[in-house]
């Protein structure tokens, strides 16, 4: 089985993504297409829940490539991101060699620093050849890792190679498709951004969001989905600490269909508001008259 | 050789010239666009359909824009640059484009002038001993003197003293490791490599310890009219700590909030302060603490307070519109940082009482309340900043003298 070919135009890219249920804005499809064609990492920034991580998953599924995910966190280091030696196994190998008598030091060294004692972490895995083609490497929430790790990434992302002192240099035969996401909890250094194609992922328009809800929840009624999208879009215009993303819209729509809601009303919205708003202050603001008004606006058929 | 590519002329037919000219226009508008980006843009345009304007826009945007804040400038420049040639003439007449020839001289030139005009001869070595004693006692006076009552020369002296202050590092333990003979973890990789030299016999264990990093500092400095005597010195102080520590963010607020962290990163204090003031539009104007804090909480708190930051709020707290909004924003700020220290120059008056409504509203939400009006108080502050951090909790508010 051969893997699907890379899309040949922006339109083909849009089609490829939508075939997997990802309805992207044309601009996002354009940068994704460019990143594939130019072999450059794609750097996606934007609020939480707008579908930055999702695009990597969809790409890997649509292209039939392996998805390798590196979730960043504070304190992420080379041992958990790139590789580590299996020390316990090495130790046993040394002991066995000793027990067998006659230890040739050079031989021992090359034996215990061999491929089989190397524990490969996501970044090293991403450089390995794969029959289906170069994998999709998702470096998620890079803003959570600390600056030292960013500097390390610079080398990997520009040359797609890793140097292991005891072992040698591992170079990718085909560069992986790299998607980096950031929620902007910290600024990423310009040096890293310069090596990538940058794109700010925004909240979708009302029409697109409606289409997304219908694609993801095929059973939902036209009326309810329109009300949901109108309500959420109105929330985003307000000055909340954390506006709901597309992920929250989908959660909420799922919650409402589970409750068999036919239409928005104060009771059902009040009960499920936690699916949309994640801060107590924001929920508190959305009570009483404000809630009534928002529901009225959303359910007002025009 | 004079180049034919000019961003002030309408685009010619060639794509290469257009892109180079556009890159120049963006550079003139203040976007950091390097030559590498121009080459990238050319490569990218080869693979897309350049008949579609929207696609060309996105393509160029993904290459030339690396920060969300620049997106607006880019889109304006794109619309202006890529428009029909006949519209260029009228546009050029109406839009004032930046004129690099009229740029004002860099701030260092004044200092250079001063340095040049000083008499070259330094005589009177005889009176050296006496001079020294004088200097010392001068310094003592300076230590206690209120910033607001200083002359220009004294301010310069204080600024120098501030620049010399160094904050001790090492406060927060991170999750990263480094070689440390007294560390808790064993560095198996190094230990094994060492063992190979002795035919697999492990002689001693190499160890790893946690790397320690200073806690990030976020300073919010009030630059309203009532604080104007202090602002410059605080900026000197903040510049000094920005220089010494890695993770320092500085925001100025009066009626609006401005992030000046990047400006303060410049090594030369005069240059840093000058580019600070160039960024700020509301220097020595009114105060809107609540609104500024709201902007900070909404746009920046998640980005700069993430790693257990200490917040220095430098303000006199003279806010007329002290209402529940101020209390709400102070509370949110307090809850999202490790320690909130309020530095208030008004505290220098021994009979100070928190009478102003703004101060009363803000006080319950801070961990520490300190005076800052002279060198001694800044020195105390520095030693407080370098002391081990208390666990995240509300400490008793100390209205120290």
What pLDDT digit, counting tens, does each position of B189-239 carry? 888 888 877 777 778 889 998 887 778 889 898 888 777 777 777 887 888
Rounded CA separation A280/A22 (Å)? 31
* Percent helix, percent strand, percent coil in chain A, to nearest 5: 50, 15, 35
- Contact between B176 and A75 using a beta-carbon 8 Å cutoff: yes
Residues of A in contact with B63 (CB under 8 A): 197-198
Q: What is the mean pLDDT of chain B?
A: 73
CA distances from B188 to A79, A107, B201, B228 (A): 12, 20, 13, 58
Burial class (CB in 10 A: 0-12, 13-18, 19+), A5: exposed
Rounded CA separation A27/A29 (Å)? 5
Rounded CA separation A198/B64 (Å)? 8
- Contact between B63 and A197 using a beta-carbon 8 Å cutoff: yes
Q: Are A12 and A167 in contact (CB under 8 A)?
A: no
Shortest Cα distance from A62 to chain B (angstroms)?
21
What mean pLDDT do residues B372-398 have?
61
Given a cut of 70, whether residue B163 has pLDDT beyond it is: no
Shortest Cα distance from B350 to chain A (angstroms)?
39
Shortest Cα distance from A213 to chain B (angstroms)?
26
Residues of A in contact with B58 (CB under 8 A): 26-27, 30-31, 199
- Residue by residue, pLDDT tens for chain A (302 residues) are 456 788 999 999 999 999 998 999 999 999 999 999 998 999 999 988 899 999 999 999 999 999 999 999 888 888 889 999 998 898 888 888 878 776 677 888 888 888 889 999 999 999 998 888 899 999 999 988 888 888 889 888 888 999 888 888 999 998 899 999 998 878 888 889 988 999 999 999 999 999 999 999 998 999 999 999 999 999 998 888 888 999 999 999 999 999 998 889 888 998 999 999 988 888 888 888 888 888 988 888 65
Closest by Cβ to A200, choosing from B34, B59, B71: B71
pLDDT score recorded for residue B110:
43
- Contact between B189 and A31 using a beta-carbon 8 Å cutoff: no
Question: From the CB of residue B371, how many other CB atoms can be counted at a distance below 10 Å?
Answer: 21
Given a cut of 50, whether residue B135 has pLDDT beyond it is: no
Rounded CA separation B277/B236 (Å)? 13
pLDDT score recorded for residue B341:
85
DSSP state of B298: I
Given a cut of 60, whether residue B112 has pLDDT beyond it is: no
Spell out the residues 6+ positions from residue B185 whose beta carbon is closer than 8 angstroms to its own: B177, B207, B208, B209
A residues 204-223 near B, CB within 8 Å?
none
pLDDT score recorded for residue B372:
75
Rounded CA separation B281/B288 (Å)? 14
pLDDT score recorded for residue B228:
75
Closest by Cβ to A103, choosing from B47, B199, B246: B199
Q: Which strand (E) or helix (H) includes residue A298?
A: helix A288-299
- Contact between B192 and A85 using a beta-carbon 8 Å cutoff: yes
Cα angle B120-B268-B172, degrees, rounded to a multiple of 5: 135
- Tokens 């292209």 belong to A63
A residues 230-289 near B, CB within 8 Å?
239, 241, 281
pLDDT score recorded for residue B379:
75
What mean pLDDT do residues B156-164 have?
70
Structure tokens at B287: 């105060």
- Contact between A26 and B188 using a beta-carbon 8 Å cutoff: no
pLDDT score recorded for residue A13:
94
Decide if the complex's ipTM is over 0.85. Answer: no
Q: Would the CA dihedral through A227, A233, A239, A244 be positive or negative?
A: positive
Rounded CA separation B86/B84 (Å)? 6
Burial class (CB in 10 A: 0-12, 13-18, 19+), A169: exposed
DSSP string, A179-212: EEEE--SSPPPHHHHHTSEEEEPPPPPHHHHHHH
CA distances from B386 to A181, B220, B383 (A): 35, 19, 5
Closest by Cβ to A31, choosing from B54, B62, B200: B62
CA distances from B351 to B314, B347, B355, B400 (A): 20, 9, 11, 11
Q: Does the global pTM surpass 0.90?
A: no
Rounded CA separation B195/B205 (Å)? 9
Rounded CA separation B396/A48 (Å)? 37
pLDDT score recorded for residue A302:
53
Structure tokens at B37: 């980006």
Query: What 3-state DSSP class applies to A67?
Result: strand
Residue B64 pLDDT level (bands cut at 50, 70, 90): very high
Q: Are A20 and A29 in contact (CB under 8 A)?
A: no
- Contact between A34 and B199 using a beta-carbon 8 Å cutoff: no
Pick A229 or B388 by higher pLDDT: A229
Closest by Cβ to A74, choosing from B55, B304, B307: B307
pLDDT score recorded for residue A11:
93
What mean pLDDT do residues B2-29 have?
72
Rounded CA separation A229/A298 (Å)? 8
Mutate to test the interface with B, among A81, A200, A203, A240 (most CBs of B within 10 A): A200
Mutate to test the interface with A, among B62, B175, B306 (most CBs of A within 10 A): B62
CA distances from B93 to B28, B87, B225, B229, B277 (A): 18, 10, 39, 43, 31
- Contact between B66 and A193 using a beta-carbon 8 Å cutoff: yes
DSSP string, B115-146: HHHS-S-----TTHHHHHHHHHHHHHHHHHS-
Closest Cα to residue B278, out of B84, B146, B106? B106
Closest-CA residue of A relative to B187 is: A87
Residues of B in contact with A199 (CB under 8 A): 58, 61-62
Q: Which strand (E) or helix (H) includes residue B359?
A: helix B357-362
pLDDT above 70: percentage of residues in chain B: 67
- Tokens 């004088």 belong to B134
Closest by Cβ to A77, choosing from B176, B191, B199: B176
- Contact between B196 and A105 using a beta-carbon 8 Å cutoff: yes
Structure tokens at A234: 């109105």
């Amino acid at each position: 089985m051969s893997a699907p070919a890379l899309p040949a135009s922006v339109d083909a890219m849009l089609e490829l993504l939508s075939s997997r249920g990802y309805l992207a804005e044309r601009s996002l499809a354009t940068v994704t297409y460019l990143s594939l064609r130019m072999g450059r990492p794609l750097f996606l920034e934007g609020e939480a829940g707008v579908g930055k991580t999702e695009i990597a998953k969809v790409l890997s599924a649509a292209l039939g490539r392996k998805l390798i995910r590196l979730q960043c966190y504070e304190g992420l280091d080379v041992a958990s991101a790139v590789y580590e030696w299996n020390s316990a196994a090495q130790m046993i190998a040394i002991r066995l060699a000793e027990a067998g008598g006659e230890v040739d030091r050079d031989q021992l060294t090359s034996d215990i620093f061999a491929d089989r004692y190397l524990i490969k972490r996501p970044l090293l895995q991403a450089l390995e050849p794969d029959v289906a083609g170069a994998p999709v490497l998702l470096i998620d929430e890079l803003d959570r890792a600390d600056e030292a790790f960013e500097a390390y990434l610079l080398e990997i992302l520009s040359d797609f190679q890793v140097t292991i002192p005891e072992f040698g240099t591992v170079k990718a035969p085909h560069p992986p498709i790299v998607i980096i996401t950031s929620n902007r909890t910290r600024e990423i250094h310009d040096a890293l951004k310069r090596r990538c194609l940058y794109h700010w992922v925004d909240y979708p328009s009302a029409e697109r969001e409606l289409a997304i809800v219908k694609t993801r929840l095929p059973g939902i009624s036209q009326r309810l989905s329109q009300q949901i999208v109108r309500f959420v879009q109105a929330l985003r215009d307000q000055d909340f600490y954390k506006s709901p993303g597309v992920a929250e819209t989908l959660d909420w729509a799922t919650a409402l269909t589970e409750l068999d809601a036919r239409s928005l009303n104060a009771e059902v919205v009040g009960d499920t508001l936690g699916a949309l708003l994640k801060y107590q202050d924001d929920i508190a603001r959305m009570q009483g008259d404000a809630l009534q008004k928002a529901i009225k606006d959303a359910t007002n058929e025009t | 050789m004079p180049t034919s590519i000019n961003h002030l002329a309408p685009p010619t037919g060639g794509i290469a010239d257009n892109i180079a000219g556009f890159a120049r226009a963006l550079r003139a508008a203040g976007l950091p666009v390097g030559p590498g980006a121009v080459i990238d843009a050319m490569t990218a345009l080869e693979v897309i359909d350049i008949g579609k304007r929207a696609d060309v826009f996105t393509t160029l945007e993904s290459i030339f824009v690396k920060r969300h804040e620049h997106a607006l400038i880019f889109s304006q420049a794109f619309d202006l640059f890529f428009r029909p040639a006949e519209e260029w003439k009228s546009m050029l007449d109406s839009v004032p484009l930046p004129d690099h020839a009229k740029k004002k001289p860099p701030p260092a030139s004044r200092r250079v002038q001063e340095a040049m005009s000083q008499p070259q001869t330094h005589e009177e070595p005889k009176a050296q001993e006496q001079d020294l004693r004088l200097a010392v006692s001068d310094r003592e006076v300076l230590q206690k003197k209120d910033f607001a009552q200083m002359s220009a020369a004294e301010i310069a002296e204080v600024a120098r003293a501030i620049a010399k202050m160094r904050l001790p590092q090492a406060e927060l333990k991170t999750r990263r490791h480094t070689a440390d003979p007294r560390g808790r973890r064993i560095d198996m990789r190094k230990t094994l490599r060492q063992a190979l030299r002795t035919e697999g016999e492990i002689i001693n264990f190499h160890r790893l310890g946690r790397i320690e990093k200073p806690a990030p500092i976020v300073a919010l400095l009030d630059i309203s009219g009532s604080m104007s005597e202090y602002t410059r010195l605080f900026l000197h102080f903040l510049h000094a700590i920005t220089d010494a520590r890695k993770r320092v963010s500085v925001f100025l607020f009066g009626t609006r909030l401005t992030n000046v962290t990047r400006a303060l990163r410049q090594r030369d204090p005069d240059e840093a302060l000058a580019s600070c003031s160039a960024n700020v539009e509301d220097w020595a104007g009114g105060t809107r603490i609540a609104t500024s804090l709201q902007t900070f909480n909404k746009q920046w708190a998640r980005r700069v307070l993430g790693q257990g930051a200490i917040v220095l709020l430098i303000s006199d707290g003279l806010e007329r519109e002290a209402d529940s909004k101020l209390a709400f924003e102070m509370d949110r700020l307090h809850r999202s940082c490790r320690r909130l220290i309020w530095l208030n120059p008004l505290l220098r008056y021994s009979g100070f009482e928190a009478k102003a409504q703004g101060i009363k509203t803000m006080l319950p939400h801070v961990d520490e309340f300190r005076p800052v009006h002279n060198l001694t108080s800044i020195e105390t502050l520095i030693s407080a900043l370098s002391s081990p951090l208390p666990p995240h909790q509300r400490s008793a508010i100390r209205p120290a003298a």
